[in-house]
Amino acid sequence: MKTIYLGLSGDIIHPGIINIIKEASKHGEVLVGLLTDSAIASHKRLPYLNWQQRLEVVENLKGVSKVVPQEEWSYIPNLKKYKPDAIIHGDDWNTGPLKKEREEVIALMNETGGKVIEIPYTKGVNSSALNEAIRSLGTTPDIRLKTLRRLIEFKKPVRIMEAHSGVSALIVENLEIEKDDGLHSYDGIWSSSLTDSTSKGKPDIEAVDLTTRLQDLTNILECTTKPIIFDGDTGGKPEHFVFTVRTLERNGISAVIIEDKIGLKKNSLFGTDVLQELASIPEFCEKLSVGKRAQITKDFMIIARLESLIAGKPVSDALERARAYVSAGADGVMIHSKEKSGDDIKEFCQEFRAEFNEIPIILVPTTYNQFTEKELVGWGATIIIYANHMLRASYPAMMNVAKLILENERSLEADKLCMPISQILELIPGGK
């Protein structure tokens, strides 16, 4: 029999999927190219089910003869490898982001003597709407907790944006833009101690207990589904850090990042005259080890933030600390610097990556923001955090509106800077 190739993600099985399998089986044996997690994550949201789970589902669908992995978003590599007699696809790829993919497939099949079968896209079925409906149901702490490790495995970079309130978190949760290489969105949320305290009008000092931080974090947890990385400052005393780890893990937070400084917290963005003292390597290693022993699941991550470069130490000091922290159980390292050139960060990343191929490197390119995500990944970056931009954007916007109203003694002139309240309500689930 002839072989008919069908590419599927298989994350949501709806009538349209059943229909196209039926149509494909009329022409021959159905060979399903099941997109891997990395292939999907490179162009859209990470699938809800992992590849093995989706494989089990698709293998048992009536009409499917064989399932093979499709490692790339493009059909071309698998079409060259398996040389099917035909490929089948819905006619929805005649327009939109898949149009270029369609042209490449047609050219290849013409070259090899194969056939392209197009069928009408099943009416009344919208995969994006189904995804949105599932997302609106929310998530569980267990599912949210596991997502960050899945993203790290299948996507580079993992793109994280700061949120300090429910509304800012909803923007991070829902914002998507279509680009030539697929759908771009934020993969998770950074819960920053700086933006959390500043949004309350308080200084960024490590005097707020975890309970207070969690009260605000709960607002974010209740209206989002994406993984959250928690800024744990220094982590406090080791015996306190144990409870921090267990509390965060229980609430479904994916990771905590703690920095190797001691004493009363002073923000790293200020000058060297207010720098904190670095913790000794054995002291910080013990804190990491205590935290790792305290966690219940293997999915929770404890990441070590290196302050060597902030403290004026050389890259060699940061690398020495990084090696020790990884040996102590750190699940990743964040390297921080105030240098605008980014040279010290690049040097660290390249040398660390030469020794540790799989350990995640987390970068916060606030000062060296001239580099693109692609360039930072080229250095070895795994996660990129935009650590305070939502808060920094909100202050001048509010200041400008308040100033316009004062100047004009009415709000008409401020309307152009304000989002209609109806649109804000649409952003909030159940707000309309």
Residue 93 in tokens: 């790829």
Q: How far apart are the first and last CA of the chain?
A: 54
Q: How far apart are CA 315 and CA 313, in angstroms?
A: 7
Q: How far apart are CA 281 and CA 273, in angstroms?
A: 22
Residues 310 and 320: beta-carbon distance below 8 Å: no
Residue of 204, 231, 233, 344 with catalytic role = 204
For 78, how many CA atoms within 13 A lie in the half-sphere containing its CB?
24
Strands 182-185 and 176-179: what pairing?
antiparallel
- Work out the angle between the directed axes of helices 281-294 and 315-327 (0-180°, nearest 10): 30
Residue 405 in tokens: 């109203």
Strands 332-335 and 361-363: what pairing?
parallel
**Count of H helices and E strands in the chain?**
17, 17
Residues 130 and 214: beta-carbon distance below 8 Å: no
Side chain identity at residue 187, one-letter code? D
**Burial of 323: CB neighbours in 10 Å, binned 0-12, 13-18, 19+:** middle
Side chain identity at residue 212, one-letter code? T
Q: How far apart are CA 187 and CA 40, in angstroms?
A: 13
Residues 348 and 315: beta-carbon distance below 8 Å: yes
Residues 384 and 160: beta-carbon distance below 8 Å: yes
**Burial of 78: CB neighbours in 10 Å, binned 0-12, 13-18, 19+:** buried
Q: How far apart are CA 364 and CA 358, in angstroms?
A: 19
Catalytic site includes residue 231: no
Give SS3 for 5.
strand
Residue 258 in tokens: 């703690």
Q: How far apart are CA 314 and CA 323, in angstroms?
A: 15
> Whose CA is closest to 269, among 307, 240, 298, 239?
307
Q: Which residues are annotated as catalytic? A: 204
